[in-house]
Structure 1
Amino acid sequence: MIMRTENAIAAVKTALSPAIKPPKGRRVMVEADDCAGFKHLMGLESVSRNGDAVIEAGGKDIR
């Protein structure tokens, strides 16, 4: 489960606001890692990919 606090939503909006063409959301991923078990990744996205679960929070998407 992904939980978002109001502070987290505000931080995402602040990070997205200065872009000329703001991304539509952010991508959160968990990948298997050889030694440490798992690695967590996050990045900005403008399009959905096949198989994405899109979660809207505070007017922004998490994919």
Structure 2
Amino acid sequence: MIHLTSSAADAVRTAVAGAAEPVSGLRIKVKTGGCAGYQYMMGLVRQPEPDDIVVENDGVKVFVEAGSGPLLKGLTIDFVVALEGSGFTFENPNATASCGCGKSFS
């Protein structure tokens, strides 16, 4: 369903290791908004929600909000380090358009 590149998995592992409280993994969902219609929401969580889809990539647990599953099917998450800044990028085969920042799609 969702694929993390090795760079993204390393970034998540680093964030989990540095978290102030114990966490189980990364939760991702899609929210209405952003400049293209939908935006990605991600965060470390202690536990998945009861209806989350659980995916494990390279030892990292990713919890996908069930309602967002169809919009995220086939999503690849990468972590890029560049002069302009570092951050997660999203390659979504379901997106028909995206904004310039790459955090919003339709």
Q: Percent identity?
A: 37
Cα distance in structure 1, aligned partners of 2:34 and 2:23: 31
**Structure 1 position 34, deviation (Å):** 7.8
The corresponding residue for 2:51 is: 51
Please state how far the C-alpha of 1:35 moved relative to its aligned partner.
Answer: 6.1
Q: Which has the higher strand share?
A: 2
- With normalisation by structure 2, the TM-score equals 0.52
Instruction: Show the counterpart of 2:28.
Output: 28
Q: Structure 1: where are the runs of 5+ without partners?
A: none
Aligned residues: 63
CA 1:31–1:25 in structure 2 vs 1: closer, same or farther (change >3 Å)? Answer: same
1:26 counterpart SS class:
strand
Runs of 4+ in structure 1 deviating by more than 6 angstroms, as ranges, are none
Deviation by residue 1:7-37 (Cα, 9 ceiling, x = unmatched) = 1101111111123543110111111228641
Contact 2:2 2:55 survives alignment (8 Å): no
Q: Which moved more, 1:25-34 or 1:44-53?
A: 25-34
2: CA distance, partners of 1:12 / 1:19: 10
**What CA RMSD, in Å, does the superposition of the two structures yield over aligned residues?**
1.9
Which stretches in structure 2 are left out of the alignment for 5+ residues? 64-106
